[in-house]
Structure 1
Amino acid sequence: MAGKRKNRLLVLSYLATKFEPEKKYSEQDVNLILMGLIDNYVTRRRDLIEYNFLNRTDDGRLYWRSK
């Protein structure tokens, strides 16, 4: 199980590099970026938030890369 989590973190770390630091993205923009890289983009978007690779506003309208 630890290996699976490590692999997930490596994938999420890679995906996070596709977002410019300090730039704000709409959910649609985030989806478009992720769609070009992976199949299950909705789950990975949620994982990016859960594992603090991306942040978002409370209403989910804007996303940005964590520092």
Structure 2
Amino acid sequence: SRRNRQDQPIILQYLASKFTAGKVYNESEVNIILKQNHTFEDWALLRRELFERGYINRSTNGAEYWLTGETKLY
């Protein structure tokens, strides 16, 4: 719905704020953080959205993830 799309950046920003700047995470660790901070069941979709919207970056093979410099930390 339109409202869900409007809320998406706020939700993604909130999720990104749960990662520690300068720390590198593996996929399993990313999934755990997402699971602990959201009730949405599709971790892969959340992870992909965080990456595609520039909140987190990842290695070419998808083994490592980290916050980008643009992520606002709370």
- TM-score surpassing 0.5? yes
Query: Aligned with 2:18: secondary structure?
Result: coil
Q: Which ranges in structure 1 are unaligned for 5 or more consecutive residues?
A: none
| 1:16-27 aligned within 5 A | 16-27=16-27
The aligned counterpart of 1:57 is: 59
Select the structure that is richer in strand. Answer: 1
Q: Which residue of 2 aligns with 1:34?
A: 34
Q: Secondary structure at the match of 2:47?
A: helix
* Paired residue total: 67
TM-score of the two chains, using structure 1 as the length reference: 0.88
Determine the C-alpha separation between the residues in 2 that align with 1:37 and 1:48. Answer: 14
Query: What is the root-mean-square deviation of aligned Cα atoms in Å?
Result: 1.4
Q: Which residue type is aligned with residue 65 of structure 2?
A: Y
- Find runs of 4+ consecutive structure 1 residues off by over 4 angstroms: none
CA distance in 1, matches of 2:13, 2:2: 16
Structure 2 stretches of 5 or more lacking a match? Answer: 70-74
